[in-house]
Amino acid sequence: MATISYPIGGTQGKPAKRPALAEYFRWSIDHKIIGVQYMVTSLTFFIVAGALAMFIRWELLTPELDFVSNGETYNSLFTMHGTMMIFLWIVPMFAGFGNYLVPLMLGAKDMAFPWLNALAFWMIPPAGLLMLMGYFAGPAEAGWTSYPPLSTIYSPDGQTLWILSLHLLGLSSIFGGINFIVTIKNMRPAGMGYFQMPLFVWSILATSIIVVMATPFLAGALTLLLLDRVAGTAFFDIAAGGDVLLWQNIFWFYSHPAVYIMVLPGMGILSEVLSVHSRKPIFGYRMIALSSMAIALIGFTVWAHHMFTSLNPELRIPFMVTSMIIAVPTGIKIFSWLGTVWMGKIRFTGAMQFGLGFLSLFVIGGISGVMLAAVPVDIHMHDTYFVVSHFHFVLFGGSVFAIYSGIYQWWPKITGRMLNERLATIHFWLTYIGFLGAFFPMHILGMRGMPRRVAVYDPQFQDLNAIVSVFAFILGISTFVLLYNMVVSTVNGKVAGANPYRALTLEWMTTSPPPAYNFIGEPIPYEDPYGYGTEASKEYLKAMESRFGPPPPAKPAPEAEPNAPAPAPEPAGD
């Protein structure tokens, strides 16, 4: 059992000092500043890419071309939407969470390489600008997958800027990955072996291994594409001896592991959130940790399932086998999470609602993924709206829901204020319903014959497309509920205190927000980051509260001053 023997004192009732706003706009090697910089930048691109999606859905209300003036404009809409969502929203957003939380969860003062950390972040704004500058040169319009020869011979100059932007983003990602691996390996506190780490840290470790192993292949592919475009080489030019399948293989060798980069940290967030808000240990901790590593490794063997209609037919079956196998560790996690929630004492905080939403939606994406893994079925479904549906279920229903969950979970730690729970509930239901209505019908559209990446479609699909678009607009609107909540909280939110959720991981054992040096003295982790329910854990939390003050009361009286003592310590939120 861990005891805390610092003087009782407290920052009861007042938010800890927040860094000045100007800090966030300049070079800082503090991982907490960098983490916020990552997150705000990513959220900005989320809004931009989301707006592009709204244009796409507006166009698709009718089978003819009306909202956009020509096919190229439409093609650049979904190209930029996809590219920005992947490389400028999800990947850097999780890097932001990792940056903010990993040192705190390890009781460390910062990452292993703070300067490299700042460099990695500052490559992102220029990369984003390069991407957007494409609009002045004829934007990339070959899809985020950018297959040659469409992306070489037949694409405008914005495609070159797109390539350069991705080079920068990939390099940034690799720097971050190295930093995380070294930090996690070397900077765990005494008493925290690998199997005492929070699962979020495990997920960042698995993700970072993928990042450093796979991203160089993206760099390689992008370099070949760039050379073909500007230097007269012929890697992908059939007329001069090149081969278009070369791109597909190298690209997907990175891009399939990339999807695990995009989901594993979300799964890590989910583990934290589900345990805290069910007040129960994570069910099957070891299996969740090991299955993350299994997914990371097996994920390198499945790439050509994206190429079932172009790959040499002889080679398709092995990739079917590996793609099916990877369903097993994923299933283990889903059942373990269900086991965590089962028999718990569930609090429906915003974080928990989105966590449960993740479980509900990700399983659908997983099922459609296994269907796509079967070659004969994929031959029908490849490049149709069925695939669009599948990846949005796992990337939005999965990753974005996890990001929302993480925002609700750690906003109090980052800002010192709670987000409003009623707005969170509204945000959740608008998002869940908007998402289902927008993306579930796409399964049917795809199966019945609608290809993807088209502005113009067979009129028989119009009714379903109209339904999809209307729900997509609802989904778009839902984002603003969160943004509004953030503004309200910043201005007038309930003070969070150090540990509003009475959680056991180390990031909660300091003020909200933490001081620049993170902890006073050496923080001692509780023996089990998910050890809820034991007397020892209650003692640990009591000691924490006596040091930092109790969490804010759940339902304060309308005129309660922030300094009024609550009748009993209660976890915040509903």
Partner 1 sequence: MNSGNNSNSNSLLIPILIGGVLIVVGGLIIGQLTPSIFPDQASAESEQVDTLFQFMLVIGGAIFLLVQGLLLYSVIRFRKRDDADDDEDGPTIHGNTTLELVWTAIPAVIVLVLVIYSYQVWVDIRDTRDDEVTISATGARYAWTFGYEDPQARTIDDSDEVISGSLPDLHTYVGQHVVMSMQTQDVIHAFWIPEMRVKQDLLPGRTTEIRFTPIEPESGWDYTDELTGAQYNRYRVVCTELCGSGHGNMWANVYVHESEEAYMEVLEREVFDPIINPPADPTIRGQQVIQTYPCSGCHVLDDLGWAGVTGPTLNGAGDRATTRVAGQTAEEYLYESIYYPGSYLVAGYGALMPQFQPGDPDGANYMPVNDVYAVVAYLCAQSSAEENPCDFDNLRSLIETDTGLDVTFGDEAPASEDSATDDTMTDDATDEDASTDDTMNEDADSDETESTPEADEEENTGDGSD
Single out the segment in contact with partner 1 by CB under 8 A; choices: 84-92, 295-303, 402-410, 455-463.
Answer: 455-463
DSSP string, 8-25: P---TTSPPPPPPGGGGG
Q: Which is nearer to partner 1, 369 or 406 (CB)?
A: 369
Single out the segment in contact with partner 1 by CB under 8 A; choices: 165-173, 201-209, 375-383, 423-431.
Answer: 375-383
Min dist. Cβ of residue 389 to partner 1 (A): 12
Determine which residue in the list 379, 477, 483, 560 makes contact with partner 1, applying CB under 8 A: 379
Q: Which is nearer to partner 1, 186 or 310 (CB)?
A: 310
Q: Which is nearer to partner 1, 335 or 484 (CB)?
A: 335
Q: Provide the 10 A C-beta neighbour count for residue 267.
A: 28
Does residue number 243 form part of the binding site for partner 1 (CB under 8 A)?
Answer: yes
Determine which residue in the list 286, 459, 480, 517 makes contact with partner 1, applying CB under 8 A: 286
Does residue number 377 form part of the binding site for partner 1 (CB under 8 A)?
Answer: yes
Does residue number 390 form part of the binding site for partner 1 (CB under 8 A)?
Answer: no
Distance CA(529)–CA(193), nearest Å, equals 12
Q: Which of 434, 438, 432 is nearest to 475 (CA)?
A: 434
Min dist. Cβ of residue 164 to partner 1 (A): 22
Q: 73: part of which helix (H) or strand (E)?
A: helix 71-84
Letter for the amino acid at 339? G
Distance of CA 392 to the CA centre of its chain: 13
CA distances from 169 to 49, 181, 210, 215 (A): 16, 19, 15, 10
Q: Which residues of 332-370 are buried (b: 16+ CB within 10 A; e: fewer)?
A: bbbebbebbbeebeebebbbbbbbbbbbebbbbbbebbb
Q: Which is nearer to partner 1, 174 or 296 (CB)?
A: 296
Does residue number 334 form part of the binding site for partner 1 (CB under 8 A)?
Answer: yes
Q: Within the chain, what is the greatest distance between any pair of CA atoms?
A: 79
Single out the segment in contact with partner 1 by CB under 8 A; choices: 205-213, 404-412, 443-451, 466-474.
Answer: 443-451
Q: Which of 276, 112, 521, 503 is nearest to 512 (CA)?
A: 503
Min dist. Cβ of residue 283 to partner 1 (A): 6
Distance CA(565)–CA(568), nearest Å, equals 8
**Tokens 């920052």 sit at which residue?**
11
Tokens of 265: 């940290």
Does residue number 285 form part of the binding site for partner 1 (CB under 8 A)?
Answer: yes
Does residue number 542 form part of the binding site for partner 1 (CB under 8 A)?
Answer: no
Name the region of 13 (left: φ>0; alpha: ψ -120 to 50; beta: rest): left
- At what angle are helices 91-105 and 114-122 packed, to 10 degrees? 160
Does residue number 229 form part of the binding site for partner 1 (CB under 8 A)?
Answer: no
Does residue number 287 form part of the binding site for partner 1 (CB under 8 A)?
Answer: yes
One character per residue 42-81, x = contact with partner 1 (rule: CB under 8 A) = -----------------------x----xxx-xx------
Min dist. Cβ of residue 77 to partner 1 (A): 12
Q: Which is nearer to partner 1, 113 or 285 (CB)?
A: 285
Does residue number 293 form part of the binding site for partner 1 (CB under 8 A)?
Answer: no
Single out the segment in contact with partner 1 by CB under 8 A; choices: 166-174, 272-280, 295-303, 469-477.
Answer: 272-280
Q: Which is nearer to partner 1, 185 or 422 (CB)?
A: 422
CA distances from 376 to 316, 367, 372 (A): 10, 16, 9
Binders in 117-176 for partner 1, by CB under 8 A: 141-143, 147, 149-150, 153-154
Cβ neighbors of 397 (< 8 A, separation 6 or more) are: 357, 358, 360, 361, 362, 364, 365, 435, 439
Q: Which is nearer to partner 1, 181 or 364 (CB)?
A: 364
Contact indicator for 536, 1 with CB cutoff of 8 Å: yes
Letter for the amino acid at 283? F
Min dist. Cβ of residue 140 to partner 1 (A): 12
Q: Which is nearer to partner 1, 133 or 327 (CB)?
A: 327
Distance CA(310)–CA(289), nearest Å, equals 35
Distance CA(532)–CA(504), nearest Å, equals 8
Q: What is the CA radius of gyration of the chain?
A: 24
Does residue number 370 form part of the binding site for partner 1 (CB under 8 A)?
Answer: yes
Q: Which is nearer to partner 1, 311 or 414 (CB)?
A: 311
Binders in 402-441 for partner 1, by CB under 8 A: none
Handedness of CA 417, 423, 424, 430 (dihedral sign): negative
Does residue number 380 form part of the binding site for partner 1 (CB under 8 A)?
Answer: yes
Binders in 303-322 for partner 1, by CB under 8 A: 309-310, 313, 316-317, 320-321
Does residue number 1 form part of the binding site for partner 1 (CB under 8 A)?
Answer: no
Determine which residue in the list 50, 126, 437, 569 makes contact with partner 1, applying CB under 8 A: 569
Binders in 346-365 for partner 1, by CB under 8 A: 346-348, 356, 359-360, 363-364
**Tokens 């809820």 sit at which residue?**
532
Single out the segment in contact with partner 1 by CB under 8 A; choices: 257-265, 401-409, 449-457, 488-496.
Answer: 449-457
Distance CA(481)–CA(487), nearest Å, equals 10
Q: Which is nearer to partner 1, 5 or 70 (CB)?
A: 70
Min dist. Cβ of residue 505 to partner 1 (A): 15
**Tokens 């765990």 sit at which residue?**
188
# chain residues binding partner 1, by CB under 8 A: 96
Distance CA(560)–CA(333), nearest Å, equals 43
Min dist. Cβ of residue 194 to partner 1 (A): 17
Determine which residue in the list 180, 202, 283, 440 makes contact with partner 1, applying CB under 8 A: 283
